[in-house]
A and B are shown apart, each in its own frame.
Chain A
Amino acid sequence: MIEFRAVTKRFEDGTIAVDELDLTVEAGTITVFVGPSGCGKTTSLRMVNRMIDPTSGTILVDGKDVLTVDPPTLRRGIGYVIQQAGLFPHRTVLDNVATVPLLSGWDRRKARTRAAELLEIVGLDPAFGKRYPAQLSGGQQQRVGVARALAADPPVLLMDEPFSAVDPVVREGLQDELLRLQAELDKTIVFVTHDIDEALKLGERVAVFQTGGHLAQYAKPAELLSAPANDFVASFVGRDRGYRTLTFLHADVPVHPVDTAKLGQRVAVTDWTLVVDDQDRPKGWLSGVDGEIEVSDQDLIAGGSLYDGSTLRGALDAALSSPSALGVTVDDNGAVVGVVRADDVIKALAKARAAGEVPK
């Protein structure tokens, strides 16, 4: 558990980076600090491992005032992941990961064995251990950065915009990986980002910081979307927050049957027909045509997003993005089970609201 008590940071030039911050980060959760640049989120994070010392106030990690601990000792017990990874270019990947165990006095062999384990945990082939950071992609470097932070098995992990320097596809992979890791490791993670989508995806609790170092709101993601504390939070979480709220609703949406056809089959198509492959996975749509045709690739109209039965947002998006206005629903193997309609999603939303499941 990390507690900020009336923490203020005023820099030498007089700017107030953090203003009277009171906040408690629960143990075993991912807590995200989010906000525009200059809002004090990174400064707040860096005060936890004393990369910066507060001007006034107290920060407690597991009940202990961090100012009473010598900074290097404190930092060896707290994992730290930063933007662009900050790997040591002159050391191999394995030695980078072994840094903290070695600093803490482990023998070299044990540290390296542990480092190799960690590479696997973060999803890297141990063969990468012999490489140097410059030989890795940005996403791989960031995985090594996470491995290095986890090496001494610290209970607390500080992550300062760790994924913002990689491209969106890789970023999404790293986010999923972090959630998977956290499910196994159960660390207390403080994660700083300026990306509200990343905050809503990763955070169990999200702290929205406002320019000038004020904490504007500290809440669960769904609550942030449905009940923003002020105009700043409302505009920061974005214009389509009503739609995003659906991300956090798992109501049942009726799944309707749909006409399907296989490639090469001769069929008479009267209405929208879904073309599937041999494993019943969706390939595309056929709209109504005159008479009987043999289904070929050229006739297909590309489909929309697929609904995996999880959140209302996925259901609505599948329906809205489909050329037939029918959202294709698939099972875990990717096989078609039916379609959902947008009006059913709206009805489900209304039902959830009536049942008090939509946060106010």
Chain B
Amino acid sequence: MGGWLFDPAHWSGPTGIPVRLLEHLGYTLMTLLIAAVIAIPLGAFVGHTGKGGFVVVGLSNALRALPTTAVLILVVLWAGLGDFPVYVALVLLAIPPIMAGTYAGIRAVDPVTVDAARGVGMRESGVLLKVEIPNALPLIYGGFRGAALQVVATATIAAYTGAGGLGRLVFDGLALQEFGQMLAGAVLVALLAVLVDLGFAGLQRLTVSPGLRPVGTGGKT
């Protein structure tokens, strides 16, 4: 069953597995970058001011209900084939969890901590950048990693409209009734998702203050 995956012939050339993997990773990282640039400032602003929270929640829920396949097809019909429709569909998919995570993270910062930040004389920008965002990072990463998993998995359907990525293996396999190739696609996507998540878990460890990790000793109860 794993024959297709381990056939050396499938590991080289312009349609080989490494190329598909890189395309898939490229879609994923670019999507996450664009979505983060849009969603984190929005979520942070709404979380900080406390105004428009229902807009964030409502928008997140509405976007969540949006079928990615339909968005992809609609943009292809309007703008033609290529990577652009893929990014539109995937960014719309990634925004809700990142925005909701950022918003929830900022709201979850202990009001006492925020009060203290103002009390020691921080300006609003300082309160947001030096206190609220660093303390919200665990939840921001939570939303971000959730988005990453969804994007890796969903980037597969980009191949339906002829784009690249590991979805090619699934759709080509489907067209040729080649089960081994479909399976290889599925396994590689799942593997890539795990690797991407591990990568972000490492980044999280490096960038989140150790003071925010759960500790067994001391602290308030």
Point out residues on A near B: beta carbons under 8 Å.
49, 51, 71-77, 80, 82-92, 99-100, 103-104, 132-138, 140-141, 148-149, 165
Contact = CB atoms under 8 A, between A and B. Distances in A.
Contacts of A71: 118, 121
A206 B123 CA distance: 33
Nearest to A90: B209
Interface stretch (B5-13, B150-158, B189-197, B210-218): B210-218
A82 B120 CA distance: 11
A132 B116 CA distance: 16
Contacts of A132: 209-211, 215
B131 interface: yes
A88 B113 contact: yes
Interface string B180-221: 000000000000000000000000000011111001011110
7 contacts: A80-B119, A85-B116, A86-B113, A89-B212, A90-B212, A92-B211, A103-B126
Contacts of A135: 215, 217-219
Contact of A80 (B120, B131, B134, B135): B120
A82 B116 contact: yes
Interface of B: 110, 112-113, 115-123, 126, 131, 134-135, 137, 208-212, 215, 217-220
Given A72-B123, A82-B119, A100-B121, A134 B215 contact: yes
B24 to A, nearest CB: 34
What are the 7 tightest A-B residue pairs by CB atom distance, in nearest-first order?
A: A86-B116, A132-B211, A76-B121, A90-B209, A75-B121, A80-B119, A134-B219
B216 to A, nearest CB: 10
B120 A76 contact: yes
Nearest to B214: A134
Contacts, number: 92
Contact of A89 (B115, B118, B126, B135): B135
Contacts of A80: 116, 119-120
A89 B126 CA distance: 16
B219 A88 contact: no
B116 A100 contact: no
A83 B112 contact: yes
B131 A88 contact: yes
B116 A90 contact: no
A47 to B, nearest CB: 13
Contacts of B119: 49, 51, 75, 80, 82, 86
Contacts of B131: 88, 90
A86 to B, nearest CB: 3
Contact of A90 (B122, B211, B217, B220): B211
B219 A136 contact: yes
A77 B210 CA distance: 30
Residue among A89, A133, A138, A149 with the highest chain B CB neighbour number at 10 A = A89
Contacts of B123: 72
A88 B131 CA distance: 7
Given A72-B123, A103-B122, A84 B220 contact: yes
Contacts of B126: 72, 103
Contacts of A136: 218-219
Contact of B220 (A73, A74, A99, A138): A138
A208 B135 CA distance: 38
A85 B113 CA distance: 8
Given A134-B218, A135-B218, A138-B220, A100 B211 contact: no
Nearest to A137: B218
A132 B123 CA distance: 24
A99 B218 contact: no
A145 B19 CA distance: 56
Contacts of A100: 120-121
B215 A103 contact: no
B120 A51 contact: no
Contacts of B121: 71-77, 100, 103-104
Contacts of A92: 211
A75 B118 contact: yes
A82 B116 CA distance: 7
Contact of B115 (A72, A86, A134): A86
A122 to B, nearest CB: 16
Given A51-B119, A82-B116, A85-B112, 8 more contacts: A86-B110, A87-B116, A88-B117, A103-B120, A132-B215, A134-B211, A134-B215, A136-B218
B118 to A, nearest CB: 6
Contact of A133 (B137, B208, B211): B211
Contacts of A91: 209, 211
Contacts of B116: 80, 82, 85-88
A228 to B, nearest CB: 33
